[in-house]
Copies of this chain bind each other. A is one copy, B any other.
Amino acid sequence: MTDVTGLKVGVLGGTGPQGKGLALRWAKAGIKVIIGSRSVERAVAAAAELGDGVTGMDNQGTAATADLVLVAVPWEGHGELLTSLRDELAGKIVIDCVNPLGFDKQGPFALPVEDGSAAQQAAKLLPRSRVTAAFHHVSAVRLAELSTPELHTDVLVLGDDREATDLVRALADAVPGMRGVYGGRLRNAHQVEALTANLIAINRRYGAHAGIRITDV
């Protein structure tokens, strides 16, 4: 199994619920985490709140300092942010967990994405990075809830670079109860991102914080 302790993981958009929740779980697992945000003050405040050695920087400093980054920003700012960090992220593994979704009176739905998916947009904007897609379906509520010590959920990890997807799987495995499962090439990322709309519909119907598990693996 790939060793992920000693890695510096940067979380772009780490003050949002998904990024902050994953930062918390990784920090508890002994991984060094940097929270990135547009605002260094908010990043430092979130890091202090998390404890466990988490530090805070602006997104640019986070991208430059981290060994690999999770992109956890809102879809609206996704393309612009990644374009601005092309040099800082060169040569690094990038994990995209962004779900391009819309909401109307009938609930959540998947937005059409010109490049196919957020992850494919990232790959296009970051030609010198090793882009993967993962952590779309992990409930931010459950991540934040330390009274749930084991998350019992699978993380689909997509990408075209085997070494990169293996390392990202190991980052999922590092969180108690979580398991990284290879989930296909990046061209199959759209449906994984879009499935989050179904999980939100499930949450509304059942009053749950749904995730997925892959059976027979």
* Interface 9-mer from A31-39, A69-77, A86-94, A196-204: A196-204
A216 with B205, Cβ < 8 A, contacts A184-B107, A197-B184 known: no
Query: A146 an interface residue at 8 Å Cβ cutoff?
Result: no
Chain A 179-217, CB-CB to B under 8 Å as 1, else 0, gives 001111101101110110111011001101111111111
Whether the pair B212, A216 counts as a contact (CB closer than 8 A) is: no
- Please name the 6 residue pairs, one residue from A and one from B, whose CB atoms are nearest each other, closest first: A184-B201, A191-B194, A191-B191, A211-B215, A213-B213, A184-B198
Query: A176 an interface residue at 8 Å Cβ cutoff?
Result: no
- Checking B109, B195, B217 against A192 with a beta-carbon cut-off of 8 angstroms, the contacting residue is B195
Copy tally for this chain in the complex stands at 2
Whether the pair A213, B210 counts as a contact (CB closer than 8 A) is: no
- Checking B107, B202, B215 against A217 with a beta-carbon cut-off of 8 angstroms, the contacting residue is B202
- Checking B107, B188, B210 against A197 with a beta-carbon cut-off of 8 angstroms, the contacting residue is B188
Q: Which of A106, A192, A209, A216 has the most CB of B within 10 A?
A: A216
**Once bound together, how far apart are the Cα atoms of A198 and B209, in whole Å?**
23
Across-interface contacts of A210 in B (CB, < 8 A): 214-217
Query: A18 an interface residue at 8 Å Cβ cutoff?
Result: no
**Interface residues in A, total, Cβ within 8 A:** 40
**Pairs A–B under 8 Å by Cβ, sample size 30:** A106-B185, A108-B188, A110-B191, A142-B216, A153-B215, A156-B198, A158-B198, A181-B206, A182-B201, A182-B202, A182-B206, A183-B201, A183-B202, A184-B201, A184-B202, A185-B201, A188-B194, A190-B194, A191-B191, A192-B195, A192-B198, A195-B195, A199-B214, A202-B214, A202-B217, A206-B217, A209-B216, A210-B217, A211-B215, A212-B213
Q: Report the minimum CB–CB distance from A198 to chain B (whole Å).
A: 4
Whether the pair B201, A109 counts as a contact (CB closer than 8 A) is: no
